[in-house]
Amino acid sequence: MTDDVNNNTALPLAGIKVIELGQNIAGPYAGEILSSLGAEVVKIERPGTGDDARGWGPPFWRGTATTFQAMNHGKKSIAFDLKDPAQAQWLRERAAEADVFVQNMRPGSLEELGLGAEALRALNPRLVYCSLWAFGHKGPMRLAPGYEPMVQAFAGIFSINGAESGPSARVGMQVLDLGTGVWAALGCIAALLRRASTGQGCVVDTSLFETALGWLQVMMAGFHATGKQPERHRSGNPNVVVFQALPTGDGEIVVAAANDRLFAKLARAAGREEWTRDERFATNALRVQHKALLIPALEAVFRTRSTQQWLEALEALGIPCAPIQDFAQVLAQPQTEAIGIFQTIPGEELRIVGLPLSFDGERPRVRHRAPGVGEHNEALGAKAPG
């Protein structure tokens, strides 16, 4: 095990002890955030195969899926068969000394083992017990399992994603898993802050479904006001025009002319200053109303020049814009290098995204690689299974 590359005592959660019964992405990401902020995170895994995400590849890095590597660096691993009463008891004793317990196991499974919130908080009233659910901690679907695409579909995200006349589509990255991990970590930190004054922990609950509805709050407010299902706009925005990707002669560029002043500048850049005098385009509300007329005309103009030419022309007028880039282009950007968010795991060559936070100008460093299954059983005094 590579030693920590920096002293984590200056990090905000230094000294906080976390037990994580997390698998896949949401729970482990919550644990990963707490670990990156300085907490000691002990991950409990099943013997042999460990977290299912270890096999979620290709791609793999040194035999373990990169998905797992990204969500679990900096943690320690204990492999336990929690159906063994002795090993479950060891974990209960450990929880009695912990600050935070994070879990996203099958709903109801930990209660059956005496590791639910009520049982562990009876042993340790200061414990912050955080559960990540698929559909929420109450209601008829409380015990229902759920994965990212299922919940995106169920929550309505599919219905607003994709081309106007094409099939529905999911958001391409794990927006709900990762978002729920962030909410869980935020809830734990808030609970720890309150505990500092009350001396009492609490139960923190969040879910993929709640995260989805939280991300949809702007559109849901519109739906409640009008009763109208939002239309699909591909890269665009239903409430702001011009605010979308436009095709160029050799690619695409996102243009964000989000107010009347910027639209006037865009009309000038496009050589269509008459649009600023057209009553149909005089305000954003009117541009939204006449979007089907305006956007095709603008697309025709943008196809006449290259992406780089449009970037130079728009930036010269102060019009917010950006090229649509693939991952290699993102990594080649000077801005990406400047913020220093990509870090190499100590002792490895694998680069991952670090914590998207800095403290006094410094980003917490990745301290050590993701652990092997049960790598720390002996070091932490846990009897190995069997």
pLDDT band of residue 7 (cuts 50, 70, 90) is low
Does 197 score more than 70 pLDDT? Answer: yes
Active site (annotated) includes residue 177:
yes
pLDDT digits (tens, 9 = 90+) for 139-159: 999 999 899 999 999 999 999
Q: Rounded to an integer, what distance in angstroms lies between the CA atom of residue 175 and that of residue 164? A: 22
Q: Rounded to an integer, what distance in angstroms lies between the CA atom of residue 354 and that of residue 369? A: 13
Q: Which of 26-35, 235-244, 252-261, 376-385 has the lowest mean pLDDT?
A: 376-385
The CA-atom distances, in angstroms, between 112 and each of 84, 116, 136, 385 are 12, 8, 19, 20
Average pLDDT over residues 290-312: 96
pLDDT of res. 9: 60
The tokens for 370 are 């993701």
The tokens for 298 are 């603008």
pLDDT of res. 248: 96
Angle among Cα 35, 41, 44 to the nearest 5 degrees reads 135
Contact 142, 135 (CB under 8 A): yes
Does 385 score more than 50 pLDDT? Answer: no
Q: Which of 22-26, 65-69, 104-108 has the lowest mean pLDDT?
A: 104-108
Map out the domains of the chain with their CATH numbers.
Answer: 8-215+340-353 (3.40.50.10540), 243-247+252-323 (3.30.1540.10)
Does 270 score more than 70 pLDDT? Answer: yes
pTM of the entire structure? Answer: 0.87
Average pLDDT over residues 169-179: 93
Contact 126, 200 (CB under 8 A): yes
pLDDT digits (tens, 9 = 90+) for 93-112: 999 999 999 999 988 899 99
Does 33 score more than 60 pLDDT? Answer: yes
pLDDT digits (tens, 9 = 90+) for 357-382: 888 888 888 888 888 888 888 888 77
- Which amino acid would we find at residue 324? I
Strand 342-344 versus strand 351-353 pairing type:
antiparallel
For 230, residues 6+ apart whose C-beta sits below 8 A from its C-beta are 160, 219, 222, 223, 238
Does 312 score more than 50 pLDDT? Answer: yes
Q: Which of 4, 177, 205, 278 is catalytic?
A: 177
pLDDT band of residue 237 (cuts 50, 70, 90) is confident
For 6, residues 6+ apart whose C-beta sits below 8 A from its C-beta are 365, 367
β partners of residue 64: 61
Does 250 score more than 80 pLDDT? Answer: yes
pLDDT of res. 95: 95
239 vs 289, more confident = 289
